[in-house]
Amino acid sequence: MNEFARSALYVLVAAGLAAGAVWTRQVPEELVQSAARDERGTPFFPEFSDIAQATSLEVWEFDEDQGGLIPFKVEFKDGVWRIPSHFGYPADAKDRLARTASAFIGLQRTVLRTDREEDFPRFGVVDPQADESAPSEGRGRRVTLRDADGKVLVDMIIGRKAGDEFELDGKKEKLEGQPGLVFVRRADEKRVYGVKLDLDLSTKFKDWIETDLLQLDVAAITSITNDAYKVDEEWLARGAIRILPGEKTVVGRKDGEWIVEGMGPDERANIAVIDSMTDTLRELTIVDVLPRERARLEDAGFFLTNQGVYSNEGELRVDLDTGVTYVLRFGEVVPSPEGEEGLRRFMVVQASFNPKALKKPDDEEAQKKAKQRVEELNKRFGDWYYVISAASFDSLRPPRKLLTEPKPAEDDAGEDAEHEGHDPGEHDHGEALGPPRPGEGADPGEGATPKKEDANPSEGATPKKDANPGEGAAPKEEDANPGEGATPKKDANSGEGATPKEDASPGEGAPAGGEAPSGGAGGS
């Protein structure tokens, strides 16, 4: 071959390579996979073969709007699944983690799309943990599974799906490819593959926890007391506590039917509203948690006095015929994320033993079971401060005017036994347990005092009244002895409370302005 022919051949080869480079940049579906021919059909993680190996899951996402990382982690530690990113709160994670892990077992390399880093933003597989030198657009979700010894089983960056439309460098694009393909790469590799990945991976806290917070049997409810008192914040500024009485409503059962205390002869209980209350109690979902610490307790809307704990927005008391009483105390508001209506709110929960609510108050076996249940519940609730949505808060505390409705004329004739539009089979209204007994109930001092939180306070500042709960730990009273507080007298009324001195500290005097809320003598 003469020199001219050899030069011409080089030119043709170079042109072919350049054309191939352009073709590769366009990332067609039929990309020639010669560079990885020997890897097609091989698993990404050959050493991961048993879902039982996985004892921790860590997910990192990048928030393009805020420009920051969003971490989530769940791990099996000391015999319990916990969420370290949420202060070690117990997780209901076994089944969900198993489903996540199984998606990666045997996952094979199939369609190679690119191995060029400049293509990563387009496929959405830029490492979310990359430094600022990496593109902020197109950062994917990094998923890491480890075993009990901390050995990495899976470390993968999951990107866009075929057919996704997105904006990159100011231009609208659509990612071509076979429907159902997800573009992924190992965190330690550059090759991007399209794979069939059936992965239901949520990083929402509420998806990894027990959704039934209270574990409460609605059919066992005998009465619900809503005490909507408030704490006078003007007095707080002067170092004292004054309670402002609010509307107090009692809902209970008589002959198996809901009634509202003080209901007139022309009124009846609004079953739809009461059912909404009980449904919320049965399915009360928390949206965030924080460890309780006593330091700066008042910032969260809770106040420790010698008469017990008072909360900024009153409390809800739920008595059960099992002898267990729940007290839900509501504190300060918490900013809600964008798109969620209303303001979230801090809440603490305490259980106590109430023998008078038992079907047979002298039943020793029932008393024993009730006391054991109270201990279990307080162990569950005692270390945590919960955050609930505005919708849950409003549903639990309807004003009295919504609890009743005019009685139709048909009721007087006995022809309208059921409310219009209400299916009595849809909700269990329980047995005939008699009228509510608002003056009776548990001595909250008998309930277990919440445990002292062992979280390191330096890990996060205590949230202020307008704080985002994810930014710091919420307070907890840790050394209060519920038995030492003076229980409010049963015959106290709003005019009989002793007004504290202006220079009194919250722990030095009784709150003034109204009777103590139910359960006021107990710990939070």
Query: What are the pLDDT digits (tens) for 103-143?
Result: 999 999 988 999 999 999 999 999 998 887 777 788 999 99
Model-wide pTM > 0.75:
no
- CA-based nearest residue to 116, from 191, 175, 58: 191
Calculate mean pLDDT across residues 160-166.
Answer: 88
Confidence of residue 38 (pLDDT cuts 50, 70, 90): low
- Calculate the average pLDDT of the chain: 76
| Mean pLDDT of all residues in 374-383 | 93
Task: List the beta strands (DSSP E) in 151-269.
Answer: 152-161, 165-168, 171-174, 181-186, 192-196, 221-227, 230-231, 243-244, 248-254, 257-260, 267-269
**Distance of alpha carbon 474 from alpha carbon 463, whole angstroms:** 6
User: Contact, 499 vs 511, CB < 8 A?
Assistant: no
Q: What is the predicted pLDDT for the residue at 178? A: 84
Region 136-159: mean pLDDT is: 93
Query: How far from 507 is each of 271, 329, 484, 501, CA to CA, in Å?
Result: 41, 19, 12, 12
Mean pLDDT of 336-365: 91
pLDDT higher than 90, residue 79: no
Please give the average per-residue pLDDT across 160-168, as a whole number: 87
Please compute the mean of the pLDDT values over residues 207-229 and round it to a whole number.
91
For the chain, how far is it from start to end, CA to CA, in angstroms? 93
What per-residue confidence (pLDDT) applies to 249?
Answer: 96
pLDDT at 1: 53
Given a cut of 50, whether residue 468 has pLDDT beyond it is no
pLDDT value of residue 472: 39
